[in-house]
Amino acid sequence: MIKEDLAIESISTMKETVERLAMTMPVTDMHTHLFSADFGNLLLWGIDELLIYHYLISESFRWSDDQESYEAFWAMSKREQADWIWNKLFIEHSPISEAANGFITILHRLGLDVSSRNLNDYREALANRTTAQQVDEVLRISNVKHVLMTNDPFDPEERDVWLNRGGNKDSRFWAALRVDTLLNDWPNAVVQLQSLGYDAAEQWTERTKVEVRRFLSEWIVRMDALYLAVSMPGDFVYPAEDHRTRMIDEAMVPVCQEHGIPFALMIGVRRRVNPELRLAGDMSMDSDVTAVEALCRNYPTQKFLITMLARSNQHELTVLARKFRNLMVFGCWWFLHIESMVEEMTKFRLELLGTSVIPQHSDCRVFEQLIYKWEHSRRIIGQVLASKYERLYNSGWKVTEEEIKRDLDDLFNRNFWRFLGKEQPQ
């Protein structure tokens, strides 16, 4: 019996409490493409970087005509690209898409005069800020406490920071070892592994297996990676007589088990369906949830962080998570990171899993995006949680502020750190 005086008596007060706590709870953002300032130019921030976000590039081209070629766009400076996008998505049309609205949310939360609609005013307002100041300010506004990076040792610019400049030194940032190349571009991976001193061959020999495991293990240690991550197209079938199954079974899972870290699989991306759009040219596709089922069953002590890109896979994946405690569903990934999908997915996830899910990650590429991606998501997740409490109230079960804090902390932080087998760092 909870102490009666602690229970929140009215539904309206409960809803206010949930909203206040959801909007202010510190968050662990467990998948981003952000970097600490130790990574130099890999850390993207500022007005022009925000506008040339690949989500906005693809949306802007929808308003382009044949005279506005992809080549001409890619030949522009970043400032010219940002001007073009600003006119297409903000001046000539209302910025109502999730990503365009997000840019306006950022301007507003940074305290800029949104009504000026003058891009140069916004640029001017940030012109004298240092990277460190902007990182601190954005983390304060967004109340993101821990940022998981996406760290790719096959990227020469990033590899140089880890090998020659001391890697990450900012305790607010954490590494995730991302190795798509090993799974999806093996011939190229072999060439790169060889150039890095690993005795790998295209043929899956015992020596190659040992050297791939050594590569993964050395980078997990070097980065202090919290998990190993890969993304894959929806045609990922497992198990199969193919390279991916061998790489997963004979290298990636064994190394994750050796280091006691989760294996994150992000499934359902079809890369470069329109190569002219470059990073903006990727597409989602239906995936096979039974591949995840087989992995979870084959490796009952291995933790799997799973997110899928197609809306059509979400309910089945959530049901699967009811069957395997080593499966943690996370985030509303990419094209699902829109208000309607965050609401839909969060509703059936809580209805099927209670609070044993990681409802969101930001996937940010430009630092200030933390502000809008988390503000929009926090509000929706809080509203869905409050609606579930309301059902309880209607049956006489009241909650306390401490219980609301506990549930939100599980959703925004502890489910991730607990899945890692770690206490949430203070």
User: Which residues of the shown chain bind ligand HDL in the complex (CB under 6 A)?
Assistant: 33, 231, 266, 279, 282, 334, 363, 365
Q: Pick between residue 304 and residue 393 the one whose CB is nearest to ligand HDL.
A: 304
- Shortest separation between residue 334's beta carbon and ligand HDL, angstroms: 4
CA distances, 97 to each of 56, 101, 103, 366, 381 (Å): 9, 6, 10, 17, 19
Q: How many CB atoms lie within 10 A of CB 6?
A: 12
Decide whether 279 or 319 has the Cβ nearer to ligand HDL.
Answer: 279
The CB-side HSE value for 13 (13 A sphere, CA atoms) comes to: 9
Minimum CB distance to ligand HDL smaller for 18 or for 30: 30
Which CB, 33 or 388, lies closer to ligand HDL? 33
b/e string for 43-60 if b means 16 or more Cβ within 10 A?
Answer: bbbbbbbbbbbebbbbbb
Q: Judged by CB, which is closer to ligand HDL: 54, or 79?
A: 54
**Which listed option, ligand HDL, Zn ion, none, makes contact with residue 370 (CB within 5 to 8 Å by class)?**
none
> Cα 152–156–162 angle (5° rounding)?
65
The CB-of-150 to ligand HDL minimum distance in angstroms stands at 6
Q: Which is nearer to ligand HDL, 28 or 184 (CB)?
A: 184
- Rounded to a whole number of angstroms, the minimum distance from the CB of residue 33 to ligand HDL is 6
- Give 189: exposed, middle or buried? Use CB within 10 Å, 0-12, 13-18, 19+: buried
290 — phi, psi (to 5°)?
Answer: -65, -20
User: In terms of CB distance, is 33 or 159 closer to ligand HDL?
Assistant: 33
Cβ-closest position to Zn ion = 363
231 binds, among Zn ion, ligand HDL, none (CB under 5 to 8 A by kind): ligand HDL
CB of 337 to ligand HDL, least distance (A): 7
- Residues β-bridged to residue 231: 266
User: Per-residue string for binding with Zn ion, 304-343, x by CB under 5 A?
Assistant: ----------------------------------------
Q: Which does 385 bind (CB under 5 to 8 A by kind): ligand HDL, Zn ion, none?
A: none
Is 180 near Zn ion (CB under 5 A)? Answer: no
Neighbour count for residue 383 (Cβ, 10 Å):
16
- The option from ligand HDL, Zn ion, none interacting with 365 (CB < 5 to 8 A, set by class) reads ligand HDL
279's contact among ligand HDL, Zn ion, none, with CB below 5 to 8 A by partner kind, is ligand HDL
Residue 358's DSSP bridge partners are 330
Q: What is the CA radius of gyration of the chain?
A: 22
For the bound state, the minimum distance from the C-beta of residue 328 to ligand HDL, rounded and expressed in Å, comes to 17
- Residues in contact with Zn ion, counted by CB under 5 A, come to a total of 1
**Which residue in 410, 377, 404, 370 sits closest to 390, CA to CA?**
404
At closest approach, how far in Å is the CB of 149 from ligand HDL? 11
Given a contact cutoff of 8 angstroms between Cβ atoms, the answer to whether 313 and 286 are in contact is yes
Residue with CB nearest ligand HDL? 363
User: Which residue carries 């933390």 as its tokens?
Assistant: 370
For ligand HDL, give the closer residue by CB, 125 or 277.
277
Give CA–CA dist 65/94, Å, rounded.
Answer: 19
Least CB distance from residue 347 to Zn ion, whole Å? 24
* Closer residue to ligand HDL, CB minimum distance, 18 or 331: 331
- Told to check if 363 binds Zn ion by CB under 5 A, we report yes
DSSP structural state of residue 9: -
Separation of alpha carbons 59 and 369, rounded Å: 17
In angstroms, rounded to a whole number, what is the distance separating the alpha carbons of residues 89 and 51? 10
The entry of ligand HDL, Zn ion, none near residue 417 (CB within 5 to 8 angstroms by kind) is none
Nearest distance from C-beta of residue 364 to ligand HDL, angstroms: 8
Query: Can you tell me whether residue 304 is helix, strand or coil?
Result: strand
In the complex, minimum distance from the CB of residue 266 to ligand HDL, in angstroms, rounded to a whole number? 6
H-run or E-run covering 294: helix 289-298
Contact present, 88 and 64 (Cβ < 8 Å):
yes
Q: Please report, as ranges, the residues that interact with Zn ion according to CB under 5 A.
A: 363
